[in-house]
Amino acid sequence: MRTRPIFALVTALGVAGIVAGVAVAQEAGPASRRKLHEDLEGPTGNRPTPLIGQTGSGSPAAIVAGDKVLPKPAVDRPDKTTSKKEPVLGESGFAADRQTSMTPDSNTGPDGTLHYASVFNPDVLPFKRMSSFDTVGEDYKLVVGRTALSGIAVGGTTDKTRDRFWGSVLLKLAPGRDIPLPSVAPDMRILSYEVNPRIRLEFSKDGADNFYVRSDESSASGTFRLVFLADADAGYFAPSLPTGGRYTARTVATMTPSDLRPVVPEAQRRAAAITLDALHVDADMDLGVAFNKLVGYFRGFKEGTLPSRTGDIYRDLCDSQIGVCRHRAFAFMVTANALGLPTRYVQNEAHAFVEVWFPERRWQRIDLGGAALRMEVSGAEDKRLHRPRADDPFAKPNAYKNSYTQLEGDISGLSADQLADKKKSLDQSPASGNFDGASGGTMDDGSGSPGPDRITPDPNLPAVTQDPKKQTPRLEVTMADASAYRGDFLHVEGRVTAGGRALPDHPIDIYLSPAGRNGASPQPLGRAVTGADGMFRMDFSVPPGLALSTYEIWLSSPEDAYYNAALSN
């Protein structure tokens, strides 16, 4: 599609950057070793990637999540004003504490307003992992079975099997002190990080996949801003059962690695047998049937007062089918572990849910719902809510459908657009892990193939209708290399303004078009994102198959909820 500005001066003149392909040596050396650049691939080949503007091992300028571009969070040095509004990990208080144990209670009535602090983008609301427990004691106390920490290497290459997230947190560091770090999934990887003030960090996790961060430097004292890029297995967020044969709970138990096998006290095994018998579930039943019965039963819990208290909190909850999210998750964990399915209890400041391990699938996030219908979310402004790649396939009674975990009820801190986007079907809006044809940044892509939201300068395409109620950005190329080699990099800088002011965090697509053809036959180079000053500065790889000629540089930006699509002329 091509934009046509409403007013003659809405878009700025694109500065023509001359790209002359020149036959050069692949590497310095004797003439016998020289080779023309005719068959070189781009710097990273032709593989699409969700990273935009990454240089070396540092963090990219942005990531692609579905049809959205998510810029890297600001790594501003924390100040007193900021730290008062945001939880500081390493201090006690709301959304900063990691519990070392959990004892089930009998307060099964409705919760008041829940408060949730957002630290990820896309936001996994309300499923941030803060405290995970994998062991149930004889007194029903939940703890971490293996508390020893193992180090986590920073780095790695993300791909289509994983979803990506920005994390931004405040840390209260002291030399050698391990600080609890929220996570999105048990297998979360830290791909890159930045910290302000600058300091070297080390990451680790315990046997229940609780994450930690620390610094051993003597200067590690005070409050620091940590911004990190993470990814996780996409299947964790879209739970399903293994499909490689007929499974039962007994076969799952047999195939479970020794370090994940639950230790179930005999008294708990007998108590859970009563629940399993009532549900007509046994270890040799088809796993799909048995698991769906379990999920449906515990999702059917309702808040209220326990009719009786026998001294066995597990039996009281199961017999009455009463309780909120923490009671459902606790009782499900005891039952599933007794059946032979490794299960964890996971919680944050607003919600509790479970993780269940299956062959082929590994850990899967299973939400059992929650009773409260009021939630206040802080820190989620301008963030995208995470969209899994498939819907949860398990039983969904009304008690589950109408809960806050399905974003039903009175939820403040989220815009109507955020809520509406989250509830769209996958054929209306792509999953967060999708990035085909949307990233384009050829520091990482190599092809820059246009996606459905791209606006190209091709004058043969129909003009895009612009909304007079929205502003139309002004796009300018401020600097560019005068020449470049095929298969090498072309440096381009530009400015984006709207209403005379710098427009930050705005995606810009860069194209080359043969000089003098008014944007015809455009070749996409990639996508950049503007910084706080409305500027972008980025290197793009020149496609190795590009004809040797003179080209003009064109900029475009897609339409969003606030701005029209725009095109430099």
Alpha helix ranges (H) inside 390-467: 398-401, 416-422
Average pLDDT over residues 285-290: 96
Instruction: Report how far apart, in Å, the C-alpha atoms of 75 and of each of 169, 228, 237 are.
Output: 10, 10, 28
Q: Residue 19 above 50 pLDDT?
A: no
**What value does the CA radius of gyration of the chain take, rounded to a whole number of Å?**
27
Instruction: Report how far apart, in Å, the C-alpha atoms of 433 and of each of 165, 172, 358 are.
Output: 10, 32, 22
Average pLDDT over residues 513-540: 87
- Residue 372 has a pLDDT of 64
Q: Residue 36 above 60 pLDDT?
A: no
The residue that leads in pLDDT, 77 or 356, is: 356
Instruction: Report how far apart, in Å, the C-alpha atoms of 161 and of each of 273, 392, 522 are.
Output: 38, 18, 31
Spell out the residues 6+ positions from residue 103 whose beta carbon is closer than 8 angstroms to its own: 139, 140, 141, 142
What count of Cα atoms within 13 Å lies in the side-chain half-sphere of residue 387?
A: 25
Task: Give the pLDDT band of residue 11 (cuts 50, 70, 90).
Answer: very low
Q: Residue 329 above 50 pLDDT?
A: yes
Average pLDDT over residues 171-191: 97
Q: Residue 366 above 50 pLDDT?
A: yes
DSSP3 helix / strand / coil % (the chain, rounded to 5): 15, 30, 55
63 strand-pairing partners: 51, 70
Alpha helix ranges (H) inside 101-240: none
The residue that leads in pLDDT, 222 or 523, is: 222
- Residue 24 has a pLDDT of 23
The residue that leads in pLDDT, 105 or 76, is: 105
- Residue 53 has a pLDDT of 76
Burial of 221 (C-beta count, 10 Å sphere; 0-12/13-18/19+): middle
Average pLDDT over residues 357-370: 95
The residue that leads in pLDDT, 44 or 479, is: 479
Spell out the residues 6+ positions from residue 365 whose beta carbon is closer than 8 angstroms to its own: 127, 185, 236, 237, 239, 353, 354, 355
Burial of 136 (C-beta count, 10 Å sphere; 0-12/13-18/19+): buried
**CB-based contact 168:73 (threshold 8 Å):** yes
Q: Residue 83 above 80 pLDDT?
A: no
Average pLDDT over residues 56-63: 82
Average pLDDT over residues 301-323: 94
Q: Write out 35-54 in H/E/C secondary structure.
A: CCHHHCCCCCCCCCCCEECC
Token pair of 429, please?
């809006």
CA distance 199 to 201: 6
Q: Residue 281 above 90 pLDDT?
A: yes
Taking Cα atoms as reference points, which of 435, 313, 345 lies closest to residue 52?
435
Alpha helix ranges (H) inside 363-453: 398-401, 416-422
Average pLDDT over residues 6-21: 29
Q: pLDDT digit string (tens) for 369-417?
A: 987 678 999 999 989 999 999 999 999 998 888 888 888 888 899 999 8
The residue that leads in pLDDT, 545 or 310, is: 310
- Residue 122 has a pLDDT of 97
70 strand-pairing partners: 63
Spell out the residues 6+ positions from residue 273 whose beta carbon is closer than 8 angstroms to its own: 338
Domains of the chain: 1-48+436-569 (no CATH), 102-120+250-422 (3.10.620)
Angle at 363 between CA 390 and CA 377, to 5 degrees: 65
Angle at 189 between CA 76 and CA 355, to 5 degrees: 115
Average pLDDT over all residues of the chain: 85
CA distance 304 to 9: 64
Q: What is the pTM of this model?
A: 0.78
- Residue 458 has a pLDDT of 85
> ω into residue 197 within 30 of 0, thus cis?
yes
